[in-house]
Amino acid sequence: MPPKKRNTVVSQSKEPKPIAESVSQDKKESTELSFKKHRDKETEFVTLCKSLHVTDLVCDHAWTLWKTIQDSVEELEDSQKSLWGSCLFATVTDMDTASFTLTQLLKAVSLNVKQFLALVRKMDVNLDTISTKVNSALSHLEKKYDVMLALYQRFEKTCKSVFASVSENKEKETIRTCWTMFLLAKGRALQMEDDLVISFQLLLCTLEFCIKRCPPDLLQPLYKSAISKVQSPPGRTARRSQSKAKSRLPESEVDLQLLKTLCQENDCNSEEVKNVYQTSFSAFLDSLDLSGSAHLPQGKGLDQQYQEHYLKSRDFDGRLFLDGDETVLVPKVDMSQVERTPKKMSDEDSTLIPPQTPIRAAMTSIQQLRGDLTSSGDQPSTNLATYFKNCTVDPTQDVVKRLETFGETFSQRFGQAVGPHCVALGRQRFNLGVKLYYKIMEAMLKSEEKRLSVQNFSKLLNDSTFHTSLLACALEVVMATYGESSFKTGGYNQGGGDATERNMCFPWILDVVELTAFDFYKVIESFIKADPTLSKDIVKHLETCENLIMERIAWRTGSPLFDLLRQEHEGETAEQVETTANFSQPLQHNHTAADLYLSPVRPGLRVLPPETAASPNTQASSQPPTQPVSQPARPLKSNSLSLFYKKLYRLAYTRLKMLCSYLLSSHPELEPIIWTLFQHTLQHEHELMRDRHLDQLMMCAMYAICKVKTVDLRFKTIVTAYKNMPNTSQDTFKHVLTTDGNYDSIIVFYNLVFMQKLKTNILQYASTRPPTLSPIPQIPRSPYKFPNSPLRVPVSSNVYISPMKSPRMSPGMMTPRSRMLVSIGEPFGLINRFQKINQMVNSGDRSFKRSLDLGSTPKPLKRLRFDMDGQDEGDGRFGMIVDMIFAISKRMDLFFIYSLHLNS
């Protein structure tokens, strides 16, 4: 529901009055601060509180917080007033009693958004200085600001190509109306206002609405001609006859020609934007009674309604971007993060690669995903249908029924999370996921058929968990591509709540399809290997999902992981889930998703290698692994559990090694001892992981060993270093399960739980006969690193080749356009193009470059530089490279893409 309208109308050029001023005069007087009540505080602090209309209680709590951190923040260069503002923000966030907006606070303490966010984080000098609730608020504000900044920069750029500077005042008024209308639409249509893609699509809808209602002389020729003549806005009479109760804008009122032009200029899919227009944006227009309007809405009316939304949200005022207000300006040091523009190849090279802005990156990822699925349908392919029919029990009907059920559930849950009118967008995402699901399933089955020489996969294809996991992984890829699932906060939901209550970050999808994280983990590696077209960002995303599962999600109460561990430890020999003899061996396995979902599936016996005893105070990684010898036959154990622990140990040691490098570089002998205690805990005391995080046990193990070895290392120092590690969250050490469902800091957990459980074991490391050290796991290269990066041709520093991912990636579709890209092995035009390239390179004649672009006009070119020992292209070296690569590609039947670094 939109906020109720207030009677106050705010001028566009003035900063709005504090929220407290909108209440009645009597209430205002009763809550107004009195200097007399706060004589124990500095006058300037009370003055700041009074200007922001906070209550006496907030003033007291903020002052108490300030006194707590005062001594610890003396070294900070920030002004005292800025720190007071940070204390007020933290206090009102915890108490949920804000009487001011973020913008009002920023203006009061003279900071911009980025500076303020950094300052509040710097205040967290102790474990409990800043609560997880404040951390969550900071993360939300930062993401929302980053999204808003990216949107405004694209809006500003688009407006320059849309509007003609006929009348500067008229143009500014139109731009202001358009931007304010977009801010209001985003605020009302989206519950997740930090969703970059849908927000950008709403921006294009708003531009379409405003452009076709602008005077023609205000538009650039491209957009003037793009407006459909037959789709002019309806007249006054037609508008009066329209029903006010309609909830869907007729498709005929959307200027498809104009919308397509906007989408083409912004690399956006027009069908998706049209979908957003006809659902979310049309509902917004209806709420303002603008659906049939032939004119732009009044700026004052929009401004007043956005003012209400802004005051309710209590964060920054998006209108200030239009004025270049210093509170929303981008600090110069952050510009490189907003637009990651590659440097020029040389000082003489005037050609720059287009900046990789957040919006450009998102649109490119979406285009790639949709392009990869162009040939995939939302029904099983002929080959996949054959696999289904070859099964003893045909799974087709179950597959179809399962997809229908999940499709409805996913769409509804998507709408609940994103916005009430976004159910159709959820269905659109789900349909893309289904295409990817079928594509990966077929690739997996082909691989299994080749590996096992069988065609009947009845047991696997009738396994509901396998299908659900595969579909969930496909949907997670789609969600990550559209930016609706990300790990900006290390995968942790700040505040200690359930992720499904706040956003759609992983593991949201698991809750939607009611799948356990341990079952989902089984499909990740096979999924990645089955689709070589996945981008590096998506592969990294899935790898992060896998790490999150191993770190904490698989250890939640109710996880099947605990059942498997109980079965393992209840065996006659209480066998280890992963023998220490395997630690120093590379992580090599032949397990596929089929093995993991059906494991153990085959009756039989296996022989286990014995445990290797490493000599005291030595690292077993320096010793060759002991050769396996015959042991009594034992029942086959779960492949999924064994592989899980192999990866868990390697992840655990990698993180420990990084933390040790930060803190114990002067005590390298402690690392293997800490690892031994850490590994012992994971193996023999795995119940300590229940509803906890892997890193919590790691930090406790480090503190315990340093304590018994009399090395001065405090928990505060450990967590300070831990915060600097990648993919971490402050919740890990601030919100730890202690006893009886209570949560506290990691220090309390150590004293009440960890130390009590492992006291005897820990004290052994102080004796003259310490426990045998565990071998150090071999840290292999990630199994998800594929050779997709361009490789440099040795004879030149500017020539690269890389495997071709998809035949759809023709040279014309690739970027940057300032370089010549040729695909060897696919039809790309006339066969004499290679001869022209060689002739151009060898002769130094640049006139051929533009002629290679079929149909384009030749233009004079600058020098082609190789930047290699003063050599230029005239020595014929590159001509030989072209011939060499072409010959190799024909000979080996490989596809290569290579780029010539040409100045335009």
171 or 588, which is more confident: 171
- Tokens at residue 686, please? 């795995």
For the segment 417-449, what is each residue's pLDDT rounded down to a tens digit?
998 889 999 999 999 999 999 999 999 999 999
Q: Which of 113-127, 224-238, 767-781, 850-864 has the lowest mean pLDDT?
A: 850-864
Q: Please tell me the predicted confidence (pLDDT) of residue 813.
A: 45
User: With 80 as the cut, is the pLDDT of residue 492 above it?
Assistant: no
Integer Cα distance of 658 and 670 in angstroms: 13
pLDDT level of residue 846 (50, 70, 90 thresholds)? very low
Taking residues 446-454, what's their average pLDDT?
Answer: 90
370: CB partners within 8 A, 6+ apart: 269, 432
Taking residues 355-361, what's their average pLDDT?
Answer: 86
Measure Cα distances from 865 to 347, 833, 856 in Å. 11, 21, 23
851 or 669, which is more confident: 669
User: With 80 as the cut, is the pLDDT of residue 346 above it?
Assistant: no
For the segment 585-630, what is each residue's pLDDT rounded down to a tens digit?
555 556 787 778 875 433 333 333 333 333 335 333 333 333 444 4
User: With 90 as the cut, is the pLDDT of residue 70 above it?
Assistant: no
Find where tokens 């099947």 sit: 560
Measure Cα distances from 677 to 1, 302, 697, 760 in Å. 54, 63, 10, 12
Taking residues 150-169, what's their average pLDDT?
Answer: 88
pLDDT level of residue 339 (50, 70, 90 thresholds)? very low
Could you give the percent of the chain with pLDDT greater than 90? Answer: 51
Helix, strand or coil for residue 788? coil
Q: Please tell me the predicted confidence (pLDDT) of residue 535.
A: 92
Q: Please tell me the predicted confidence (pLDDT) of residue 35.
A: 80
Taking residues 195-210, what's their average pLDDT?
Answer: 95
User: With 70 as the cut, is the pLDDT of residue 584 above it?
Assistant: no
Taking residues 781-807, what's their average pLDDT?
Answer: 53
Ramachandran region, residue 220 (left: φ > 0; alpha: ψ -120 to 50; beta: rest): beta
Indicate the DSSP class of residue 219. B
Angle between helices 56-69 and 80-95 (to 10 degrees): 120
For the segment 267-319, what is each residue's pLDDT rounded down to a tens digit?
999 999 999 999 999 999 999 888 877 788 888 889 999 999 999 988 899 99
830 or 282, which is more confident: 282
Could you give the percent of the chain with pLDDT greater than 70? Answer: 68
Integer Cα distance of 519 and 555 in angstroms: 12
For the segment 71-119, what is each residue's pLDDT rounded down to a tens digit?
776 666 668 899 999 999 999 999 998 889 999 999 999 999 999 999 9
Strands 791-792 and 736-737: unpaired
Taking residues 147-172, what's their average pLDDT?
Answer: 88
User: With 70 as the cut, is the pLDDT of residue 135 above it?
Assistant: yes
User: With 50 as the cut, is the pLDDT of residue 30 above it?
Assistant: no
User: With 50 as the cut, is the pLDDT of residue 177 above it?
Assistant: yes
- 210 exposed, middle or buried (CB, 10 Å; 0-12, 13-18, 19+)? buried
Integer Cα distance of 154 and 354 in angstroms: 13
826 or 218, which is more confident: 218
User: With 90 as the cut, is the pLDDT of residue 637 above it?
Assistant: no
- 724 exposed, middle or buried (CB, 10 Å; 0-12, 13-18, 19+)? exposed
pLDDT level of residue 896 (50, 70, 90 thresholds)? very low
The answer to whether the CB of 189 falls within 8 A of the CB of 281 is yes
User: With 60 as the cut, is the pLDDT of residue 196 above it?
Assistant: yes
The answer to whether the CB of 26 falls within 8 A of the CB of 15 is no
What does the radius of gyration of the chain's CA atoms come to, in whole angstroms? 31
Q: Please tell me the predicted confidence (pLDDT) of residue 769.
A: 86
- 311 exposed, middle or buried (CB, 10 Å; 0-12, 13-18, 19+)? buried
257: CB partners within 8 A, 6+ apart: 226, 227, 228, 231
pTM over 0.75: yes
Taking residues 319-341, what's their average pLDDT?
Answer: 70
For the segment 497-556, what is each residue's pLDDT rounded down to a tens digit?
333 334 789 999 999 999 999 999 999 999 999 999 999 999 999 999 999 999 999 999
Domains in the chain, start-ordered, CATH in brackets?
A: 43-129 (1.10.472.10), 141-229+253-322 (1.10.472.140), 358-551 (1.10.472.10), 637-765 (1.10.472.10)
Query: How confident is the prediction for the chain on average, in pLDDT?
Result: 77
Q: Please tell me the predicted confidence (pLDDT) of residue 616.
A: 34
865 or 273, which is more confident: 273
Q: Please tell me the predicted confidence (pLDDT) of residue 65.
A: 93
Cα 772–chain centre separation: 42
Integer Cα distance of 64 and 73 in angstroms: 14
When mean pLDDT is compared over 13-27, 99-113, 324-338, 490-504, the highest value belongs to 99-113
408: enclosing H helix or E strand: helix 396-418
Q: Which of 349-363, 680-694, 823-837 has the lowest mean pLDDT?
A: 823-837
Integer Cα distance of 794 and 257 in angstroms: 49
Instruction: Annotate 106-168 with DSSP letters as a single string.
Output: HHHHT--HHHHHHHHHHT--STTSS-HHHHHHHHHHHHHHHHHHHHHHHHHHHHHHHB--S-H
Find, among 559, 573, 682, the residue nearest to 631 by Cα: 573
- 887 exposed, middle or buried (CB, 10 Å; 0-12, 13-18, 19+)? exposed
Find, among 336, 366, 191, the residue nearest to 266 by Cα: 366
Q: Which residues pair with 802 in a beta bridge?
A: 897
Q: Please tell me the predicted confidence (pLDDT) of residue 92.
A: 95
User: With 70 as the cut, is the pLDDT of residue 644 above it?
Assistant: yes
Helix, strand or coil for residue 707? helix
Cα 191–chain centre separation: 18
User: With 60 as the cut, is the pLDDT of residue 581 above it?
Assistant: no
Q: Please tell me the predicted confidence (pLDDT) of residue 350.
A: 44
User: With 50 as the cut, is the pLDDT of residue 260 above it?
Assistant: yes
Q: What is the Cβ-side half-sphere exposure of residue 625, based on CA atoms within 13 angstroms?
A: 18
